[in-house]
Amino acid sequence: MNIKEYFSSIFTGAHSLIKGMEVTGKELFTKKVTEQYPENRAELEIPERFRATLQFIYDEEGYHKCIACKTCERNCPNGTIQITTRMVDLPNGKKKMKLDKYMYDLGSCTFCGLCVTSCPTDAIKFSNDFEQAVFRREALLKQLNYLPEKEKPAPEPAAKPAAAAAKPEAKPEPKPEAAEPAKAADVQSPNADKKEE
């Protein structure tokens, strides 16, 4: 190395050092984006449409809207959903298919959303609860209808037609008065007038 190369390498090193310090110095004043997870769990804002896991939609009274049609199961491309059903007898003598178990394997779900979009009753949706890590693969298999099945109350009997409701009530027939026994004085003999003449 001659003297020229020696000073050239010093200059190159100093230049790259200043360049690096410039980048580091700029980051001192830019907004921090590092997430301090899990300490910041309470402040985390997960996007509403993030697909974390499939779940049933239960209303406040504990009813779901699944009619056990199995459309979601048929549309799932990789067999993630397994539905078992049973036949029940209705009070009117008919039979109806009811949901027994709705099993969902989070481990094989590709989050394509076909099940949700094809459901005719909007009974399922994706939650954005992203903390789904477990230690055992079997724990990823979930029963979505976890609440005990409730029977819906029987519908009210149909209201009477308006015409029937407007029909006046039939008045009770007046009772015939009891015939009083005829008084002897009131009974006139057909020959009475003749006698007076």
Q: Which is nearer to ligand SF4, 77 or 155 (CB)?
A: 77
Assess contact for 107 and 141: CB atoms under 8 A: yes
Dihedral sign for Cα 77, 80, 86, 90, please: negative
By the rule CB under 6 A, 111 interacts with ligand SF4: yes
Q: How far apart are CA 75 and CA 119, in angstroms?
A: 10
Cβ(87)–Cβ(78) below 8 Å: no
The residue among 20 and 120 lying less far from ligand SF4, judged by its C-beta, is: 120
**Residue 101 or 195: which CB sits closer to ligand SF4?**
101
Among 52, 57, 103, 114, binds ligand SF4 (CB under 6 A): 114
Token pair recorded at residue 43: 């402040």
Count of residues of this chain found to bind ligand SF4 when the rule CB under 6 A is applied:
26
Q: What separation in angstroms does the CA of 99 have from each of 60, 83, 84, 96?
A: 19, 8, 7, 10
Among positions 58-97, residues that touch ligand SF4 (CB under 6 A) are: 66-72, 75-78, 80-81, 83
Task: Summarize as ranges the residues that interact with ligand SF4 (CB under 6 A).
Answer: 54, 66-72, 75-78, 80-81, 83, 109-115, 119, 121, 123-124
